[in-house]
Amino acid sequence: MNLERFTIDSIKQGLMSKQFSDVELLTEYFKRINKYDMHIKSFITLCEEESLKKAKEVDEKIAKGEKLGFLEGVPVSIKDNICTNTIKTTCASKMLNDFIPPYDASVVKKLKESGAVIVGKTNMDEFAMGSSTENSSFFKTKNPWDIDRVPGGSSGGAASSTAAGFVPLAYGSDTGGSIRQPASFCGVVGIKPTYGLVSRYGLIAFGSSLDQIGPLAGTVKDCALGLEAVQGSDTKDSTSIKEEYCINYLNTIEDGIKGLKIGIPKEFLSEDLNKEIKSKVSESIKALEKLGVEIEEFSLPITETGLSAYYIVSSAEASSNLGRYDGVRYGYRTDKFEDYKELILKTRTEGFGDEAKRRIMIGTYVLSSGYYDAYYKKAMIYRQKVKKLFKDAFSKYDVIVSPTSPILPFKIGEKTNNPLDMYLADTLTVNVNLAGIPALSMPCGFSKSKLPIGIQFMADHFNEEKIFRTAYTLEQELKVDNVPQMKLEVK
């Protein structure tokens, strides 16, 4: 089985035509995981026994001719901040090292109802705070294209598990680019849906007004199928939307893009952008123009100021959300303490990693008396400006196109001691979350050093259909055979 090239459709067709059973399929996937993941380290927890049991049930349903679910028998991985009943959910933190949720997140419930097989929980930056998956309390995840480099973050485990051919579909969360940036670094497709399109119930919160669960996959079609499987309203999440916004994306994905108007923010193609990234994205824009779209450059002056507003808002929400980890209710508790105050202090000091502590401190500071108006209030006002700027842009353009990341995947440890430099890697993604709009990253080529380069498509709220249609059309146009060979093993 050529697992790297398996799509959801090829799996469904293979199962129905009895080319292979689901047990055989899952066995092959686990063979690949057990052979290569010791080098990549995508997974925190593997569910081999449970997966094979579920695969057996799928085979029995097929044998009996029973109705199959939307993703029946398809292996998926789940980021380790999405709650899974009976399966450990750690947020890659010592604070939740032994936490086993008593319930499934709504996304997980929908996946189980669709027949998907959960292969395991993927590594991430602790509590989704980071851009490299180096902030995990357990281990660093490697980029399958070059294991000396990071896979991006915070959904680095999800992206690498898809890129390495461990699963055809993965689910991550995106607070400021945490699906799109690792998708770009690992050469896969990943979408951050419109805020509210996918339920956040069961997603362990980082920034509640910014977080959104979304899929990562090897192709645009599979990514669309992955979103369709989990979208929809949820009574357990008051921010989730009505079902009327949920559509079948594959109905129009092959309709072409002739007549669409695409905007290119000139600030997103600045001189600071890596030259190889700029070249590949520019080539893709020219390809889109040849396919019949109208291209126009315009000004969207939100890159640097939006980054500042994002880190104020997200850190403030993180400070509030992580206040529950005090050693009293659940999670890690320090062994030695004399009173309640020392219990909380030592538990949080020992349980949180450096990046989580840094963001808690920033968030606590901007929310404190005397600084709230100067920082948090101004950031929230600027957030409304970002929303308006995007809304005005989408009154003129169907889709906005930009690079996903201003830099190529960097080496492990290269930016660890410079948090500000790390934060700047999110410049092109964070404003999407401030505005709550959807955005997708897909590969558009490779650098001379054989590293993936991603292009980003943005659209107005609930216009995922336009994004998928544009991305799919470009994907078909850019198809090439000379894809570099991955380096999954250490010599």
Give pLDDT tens digits for 228-280: 999 999 999 999 988 788 999 999 999 999 999 999 999 998 878 999 999 99
pLDDT(453) > 70 = yes
With a CB cutoff of 8 Å and minimum separation 6, the contacts of 357 are none
pLDDT(342) > 80 = yes
- Quote the percentage of the chain above a pLDDT of 90: 90
- Identify the pLDDT of residue 418: 86
Sheet of 75-79: strand order equals 43-46, 117-122, 75-79, 169-174, 212-217, 189-192, 439-446, 452-458, 399-403, 261-265, 294-298
Task: List the domains of the chain with CATH numbers.
Answer: 3-255+435-478 (3.90.1300.10)
322 within 8 A of 332, measured Cβ to Cβ: no
CA–CA gap between residue 241 and residue 36 (Å, rounded)? 40
Task: Copy the structure tokens of residue 479.
Answer: 């198809």
Q: What is the mean pLDDT of residues 384-395?
A: 97
- Identify the pLDDT of residue 334: 96
- CA angle at 82 for the pair 402 and 84, rounded to the nearest 5°: 150
Question: Could you tell me how many helices (H) and strands (E) the chain has, helices first?
Answer: 15, 11
Catalytic sites, residue numbers: 79, 154, 178
With a CB cutoff of 8 Å and minimum separation 6, the contacts of 350 are 94, 332, 334
Give pLDDT tens digits for 113-137: 999 999 999 999 999 999 999 999 9
pLDDT band at 484 (very low <50, low <70, confident <90, very high): low
pLDDT(483) > 70 = no
- Identify the pLDDT of residue 489: 67
With a CB cutoff of 8 Å and minimum separation 6, the contacts of 415 are 132, 421, 422, 425
Are β-strands 117-122 and 75-79 bridged in parallel, bridged antiparallel, or unpaired? parallel
pLDDT(304) > 80 = no
pLDDT(467) > 60 = yes
Kindly report the average pLDDT of the chain as a whole number.
95
